[in-house]
Amino acid sequence: MKRLSNIKHLNNLLKTKQISCTELTKRYLTEIEKENKTLNAYVRITQDAALLAAKRVDEKIAKGEELMPLEGIPMTLKDNISTKNIETTCCSKMLEEYIPVYDATVWEILQNQNAVLLGKTNMDEFAMGSTNETSIFGGALNPHDTTRVAGGSSGGVASAVAGNIAVYGLGSDTGGSIRQPASFCGLVGLKPTYGAVSRYGLIACASSFDQIGPITSSVEDAAIVYDAISLYDKKDATSCGKRCNAQSTLENSIKGMKVGILNEYFEGVSDDVKEAVDKALNAFEKLGVQIVKINIPEMEYTLPVYYILACAEISSNMGRYDGICYGYTTPKYNDTTDMIFKTRSEGFGREVKRRILFGTYVLSAERYDSYYKKAWKLRGSIIKSFKAAFADCDVILAPTVPDTAYETNFTLSDLADNYLSNICTALANLTGLPAVSMPCGFDQKGLPIGIQIIGDKFEDAKILNAAYQYEKLTHDTIYKSKEIGVML
C-alpha cells in the first residue's frame, strides 16, 4: 500500500468526516500512553491543548469551513521550541520546570492552523549530542529496534513519528540533529536553508548553524510542513523571507538533473551503508540524472571548523543560564558568584560543559586568532567552494550517517569518533545549505539507512523534488512501517 502523504490522508479523513479530530486525537493520546513507556519519545504530554485544538477543528468542520493543510493534524515539537505556558526544558536540569511566556514563531504559525500538539518530545540536552542519551529524561528509543537509540539530538521526534504516535514533528538541526535521527528511524528529515525558517523561540544552540525543520514519514509531508513554516519573521534578523512552494514542484521530472558525489563522503562509512547508497545512486540514474564527481578542496577542515565555530557560539549562548531570572538555581551558595558557578555546574550535563569549555577556549584572547578567526575565514572558503561546486551540479548526494542506529549506552570509544559521526551532516549547517535525509534501505540487522540530498542556497524545493521522485520509485523498498501506534 503506497501512501505518499499521511498528512493529506488525514486531512481527507477529517474533511470527509470519516473521523472527527477529537476522535483522532484521542486515538493518538491512547497510543502514546501505551507506546511511550517503551519508546520514551515524549517527555511531556499536552492532552488539554491537544483536545482544545481538536475541538476547534471539529467546530470548523461542522460549519463546513475549509481546512488548512496542517489543520487538526496531531504532531509534536522538540522540547527546545518555546511553547507559551507549556514547560520547555531542552531536557536539561537547567531548564526543569521552565515555562516560557511567549511562543516560538513556528509554533504561532502552526497554532494558526490549529495543529494538534500531542506533547513535547525528547532530545539531547540543549541539542548537544547524537544519541538522545544526554537527556535528563533518559534516551528515546528506536521503534525499529528498541534496544537501539533513536538518534540525536531530535531523537524524541523521530521516535514518535516512526512509532506512529505523531504524524509529524518539528526538530532542530545544528550539525545533523534532524537528519541523523530521521536516518536512524527510517524517516524523512529536512534541514532548510539557513534563514528559511524563523529561529525566534528556538532555544539557541549555535546561532549561525541552527535551523528548525520537519521530521515526517514521507517527502510530501516534509514539503507540506516546510511550506507552512518557512515564512519571513520580522522578529528574526536572519530570517530570509524566501517563501518557495516546495509542494508545487514535487512532481517535476528530474531527468537531466546533475547529481554531484563527493568522494570524501564515503570515507569511514560502513559497508552496509555504502551498499545502500550505491543502490540509491542506481535508482537516481534510472530517473535520468547524470552523476558528476565534485571536489571540495577544504573537505578535511569542515568538521574541525564546524566544532570550533559551533562550540564558540554555544559557549556564548549558554552564558545566560545563571539561575537568576529563570530556570534551575542551586539551593546553597555563599554569594552571587558562588551561586552562578554552582548553578551552572549542577545544571549542565557533561556534554554541554565540554562544548562550553572548548568554545570558551577557542574564543579566549590568546587563541582567538589561531582558532576562531581562522575557522571563521575557512568557513567562508568552504561556502565559496560549495557555491563553485553547484555550478557543476544541481544537487549533491551523500550518506546521512556513516552507520546505522547505535545500541543504547553505546559509548563511542573515542570522543573524536563521536563527533566524526557528524561528518556527512555538519557540512550543510556550516554552509547554510538545505539538506534532506530520507531512507534508502536497511542494513543486515534490518536497521534503516539514510541518504542525504543537499542543495544550493534556497533550493529547498529542488532537493525535495529529487527526494520525492526517488521515493516514488523506491517506496516499498525503503519504508518499513512499524506495527505500533496509530495505524492509518
Partner 1 sequence: MVKRDDVLKIAKLAMLYIEEEEIESWIFDMNKLIGFADTIKSVEDDELEDFDDISNIVNAFHEDEVVKSLDRELVLKSRDGGEDGYFIIKRERNNRGYL
Partner 2 sequence: MSWELVAGFETHIELSTKTKIFCQCSTEFGAEPNTLCCPVCLGLPGTLPKLNRNVVYYAIKAGLATNCHIRNITKMDRKNYVYPDLPKAYQISQHDKPLCERGHIILSSGKKINIGRIHIEEDAGKLVHQRGDTYIDNNRGGVPLIEIVSEPDIRSADEAVEYLEQLRLIMKYIGVSDVKMQEGSLRNDVNVSVRKTGEDKFGTRVEIKNMNSMNFIAKAMEYEFSRQVDILKSGGTIEQETRRYNSDLNITESMRDKEDAEDYRYFRDPDLVTISTTHEEIEELKNELPELPQKKLNRFTGEYGLPSADAELLVKYKKISEYFEKACYESKSYKTTANYILGSIFRRLSTDADKEDANISISPEYLSELVVLTEAKKINSNIARNTLEKMLDTGKPASELLSKEDMEGIDESTLRDICEKAVKNNQRAVESYLEGKEKALGAVIGYIMKETRGKADAELAGKIVKELLNN
Strands 141-142 and 145-149: antiparallel
Asked whether 216 and 4 are in contact (CB, 8 A), the reply is: no
Of 349, 421, 426, 356, the residue nearest 90 (C-alpha) = 349
In terms of CB distance, is 57 or 426 closer to partner 2?
Answer: 426
Of 326, 481, 300, the residue nearest 378 (C-alpha) = 300
In sequence order, the β-bridge partners of residue 294 are 262
Enclosing H/E stretch for 184 = helix 179-184
Q: Which does 356 bind (CB under 5 to 8 A by kind): partner 2, partner 1, none?
A: partner 1
Report in angstroms the alpha-carbon separations of 200 from 231, 315, 347, 349, 434: 12, 19, 24, 25, 19
Q: Which does 419 bind (CB under 5 to 8 A by kind): partner 1, partner 2, none?
A: partner 1
In the bound complex, what is the minimum distance in angstroms from residue 46's beta carbon to partner 2?
Answer: 18
How crowded is residue 387: how many other Cβ atoms within 10 Å of its Cβ? 13
In the bound complex, what is the minimum distance in angstroms from residue 482's beta carbon to partner 2?
Answer: 33
Positions annotated as catalytic residues are 78, 153, 177
For residue 426, give the amino acid letter.
Answer: A
In the bound complex, what is the minimum distance in angstroms from residue 102's beta carbon to partner 2?
Answer: 5
Among 150, 182, 204, 405, binds partner 2 (CB under 8 A): 204
Among 44, 60, 78, 199, binds partner 2 (CB under 8 A): 199
In the bound complex, what is the minimum distance in angstroms from residue 89's beta carbon to partner 2?
Answer: 10
In terms of CB distance, is 279 or 326 closer to partner 1?
Answer: 326
Residues 6+ apart with CB under 8 A from 454: 395, 396, 397, 398, 427, 428, 433, 434, 435, 463
Q: Which does 481 bind (CB under 5 to 8 A by kind): partner 1, partner 2, none?
A: none
Binding mask 342-381 for partner 2 (x = CB under 8 A): ------------------x--xxx--x---x---x-----
Of 234, 236, 186, the residue nearest 210 (C-alpha) = 236
In the bound complex, what is the minimum distance in angstroms from residue 203's beta carbon to partner 2?
Answer: 4
Q: Which does 312 bind (CB under 5 to 8 A by kind): partner 1, partner 2, none?
A: partner 2
Q: Which does 104 bind (CB under 5 to 8 A by kind): partner 2, partner 1, none?
A: partner 2
| Alpha-carbon gap, residue 290 to 394, rounded angstroms | 10
Enclosing H/E stretch for 363 = helix 350-363
Interface with partner 2 (CB under 8 A): 80-82, 88, 90, 95, 98, 100-102, 104, 199-204, 207-208, 234-238, 312-313, 315-316, 319-320, 322, 324-326, 336, 340, 360, 363-365, 368, 372, 376
